[in-house]
Amino acid sequence: MNQWIDLIINNLDLIYILILAIFVGVEVIKHIPTILHTPLMSGANALSGVVVVGALLVMLNADPDDYLALCLGFIAVVLGIVNVVGGFAVTGRMLQMFKKKD
């Protein structure tokens, strides 16, 4: 238990930055007009692709006995892939709305 407390105390600055980034992200997304959501979703797909690659690299460099890193990496890969596939599906459907009917 002391190991977890030491880990949190040593990384307190990073935790503060993460919490601040969450609040800033929510405020930025909340004030985006609806017309811009499709281009932003395409950018989010690219970022999710970067998350997948980063999670794979973390998993490759993790110690085989470090189950926490491997589990978190696996979860990040799965969620990133779901986000990329879902985002591309929604973007594709939105682009179909702009095609001319036969």
Region 41-49: mean pLDDT is: 76
What average pLDDT does the chain have?
A: 82
- Secondary structure of 35-79 as H, E, C letters: HHHHHHHHHHHHHHHHHHHHHHHHHHHCCCCCHHHHHHHHHHHHH
**Greater model confidence, 33 or 27:** 27
More confident residue, 46 or 54: 54
Region of poorest pLDDT, from 22-26, 40-44, 93-97: 40-44
pLDDT at 38 over 70: no
User: Does the predicted TM-score (pTM) go above 0.95?
Assistant: no
